[in-house]
Amino acid sequence: MPFDETRPGTAKRAVLHRMVMPDHLCPFGLKSKDLLERKGYEVEDHHLTTRAEVDAFMEKHGVKTTPQTFIGGERIGGYSDLRAHFGDPLPDEDDTTYRPVIAIFAVSALMALAVGWAMGDLAADPIRTLERFVAVAMCFLGVQKLQDVESFSTMFLNYDLLARRWVRYGYIYPWVETGAGVLMLAGALTWLSAPAALVIGTIGAVSVFKAVYVDRRELKCACVGGGSNVPLGFVSLTENLMMMAMAIWMPLRMWMGL
């Protein structure tokens, strides 16, 4: 009798064909197996261990990729198709998202709190914790840009007013942002870090405001690197305003002896 997964008391079953070779273990095959098991399926796991087996399987089923999952005799497809089958499709690579920025700001906040706790000044000097948060966020954002300065500078040219007049500024910016963040975190050379952050923050804020709120352009932000899908807008403006505020506050704090 053919298997009927709809019968009461019958365990859900799926058949998975995936590449498991000596020099290549398909990650999407592992993800498919894990997803099926988390969904309560018993997985009949078939390994394709040679290139010949893979080619024969793809020719037999008329597919161009593996892994391939079958449920109830019906071919579901690869990992992305399986995700869609369960109502949780993978996000489109072109979809805009704030996830990278949220991750950076969240981890920066946690690190600032952790350092404040370790230094014993978390409750006594909450302003210092806020300073650390901004400085760490600047470092993280700078490192994201430094991963691929060429890509960042290209995206940066879409909206930054100074970079459009002086292209080399797009290559310098990540170093200045990261360096200013490190110095502010250390509380050293404020005479250098504060003006640097104020200059790039002010230019950035004006550029973002003009592009988004004056020209009404829909662009992607280079704030987390040139390959991001973060939309240019409020978050980008906030990044620059944070740098400006930090640049003004640090010298003021020193002058006030706080």
Model confidence pLDDT, tens digit, residues 109-151: 999 999 999 999 998 899 999 999 999 999 999 999 999 999 9
In whole angstroms, give the CA distance from residue 224 to residue 69: 36
Q: Is a pLDDT exceeding 50 seen at residue 250?
A: yes
What is the structure's pLDDT at 235?
A: 83
User: Domain residue spans in the chain?
Assistant: 12-85, 99-256
Mean pLDDT of 216-239: 87
Burial pattern 155-179, b for ≥16 Cβ within 10 A else e, equals bbebbbebbeeeeebbeebbebbbb
Architecture of domain 12-85: 3-Layer(aba) Sandwich (3.40)
**Pairwise CA distance, residues 195 & 198, whole Å:** 5
Q: What pLDDT is attached to residue 11?
A: 65
Pairing of strands 41-48, 68-71: unpaired
Would you say residue 3 has pLDDT above 60? no
The pLDDT score that the predictor gives to residue 124 is 87
10 vs 57, which has greater pLDDT?
57
pLDDT band for position 1 (cuts 50, 70, 90): very low
* CB-based contact 28:90 (threshold 8 Å): no
Per-chain mean pLDDT for the chain: 91
Average confidence (pLDDT) over 170-176: 97
Query: By percentage, how much of the chain surpasses pLDDT 90?
Result: 77
Region 50-78: mean pLDDT is 95
**Residues in a beta bridge with 18:** 47
pTM for this model (two decimals): 0.81
Q: Given a cut of 80, is residue 205 above it in pLDDT?
A: yes
Position of tokens 């003009």? 210
